[in-house]
Amino acid sequence: VNWLERRDPEDLVWHYEWAAHKRSLLVDSSDFLARNRQIIVHDTERETATVHYSFARQGGGYRPYWSASWAPDDQGLIILSDHEGFYHLYHQRDPGEPLRPVSEGSWEVASFEVDRRNGYIYFIANRDHIADRQIYRLSYRSGNEVEKITGAPGTYAPTYSPTFDHVAFSFSDDSTPPELYHQVLGAAPAGESRRVTRSPRNFFGQFEWADVDYITFNSHVDDTSLHGRIYLPRDFEANGRYPLIV
């Protein structure tokens, strides 16, 4: 076992990953308060460490959703960052150079995986609706046009095959428990999904579940736009009186 010398052994490690050639290891880390982020690339043959990306922010104290991965063909790094406000994907080819946006808009990326063989970046995002966690992809080699893989609104949790030819995902929404689905990926466009499991017992459909609605309102503190989810009883009347649970 060869131990890597870290610049600050007490820094939190958010992610680490080997390059395709298995010689370079990226380590995405920060201080305890998540204020100073560094992505360091370790060359295990030369025993060197290079700061590929660094960023310092004023805030901190909350768990960030940072991650990074090697770009297709090991052409630098794909970095998930919130340094411009929204969590989005960026490409950095060489250490220290400015980040190039890969995704952008008033929505956020939650996580991603890189299909190195076919040059796709698959990611989970709320691009269509603030409450959704849909699966999307874009081609790293031919441009940044986003292709939506999944369809129905809801939350998707994917597991990709090693070749990224297939994906299995669990899907659920406000009135549907998680179910397992399979979908063929391959070249665009992706295929239709196929349901694999049927978990609820027959009596599940006999219940009258609450209606769900989403609202947007401004904070009374600093006028920040906030989002809320409201569960309404069946046969809800706008002028009626109902107990409220927050």
Tens-place pLDDT, residues 131-171: 999 999 998 876 778 999 998 999 999 999 999 999 999 99
The structure tokens 């490409």 sit at 91
CB 78 within 8 A of CB 121: yes
Report the mean per-residue pLDDT for the chain: 89
Strand order in the sheet with 134-139: 109-115, 120-125, 134-139, 146-148
Residue type, 96: G
The structure tokens 């927050």 sit at 246
pLDDT for 210: 80
- pLDDT higher at 220 or 245: 220
CB 175 within 8 A of CB 207: no
| Per-residue pLDDT tens digits for 202-242 | 888 788 778 888 888 898 888 888 888 888 887 888 888 88
Tokens of 246: 């927050």
**pTM, rounded to two decimals:** 0.87
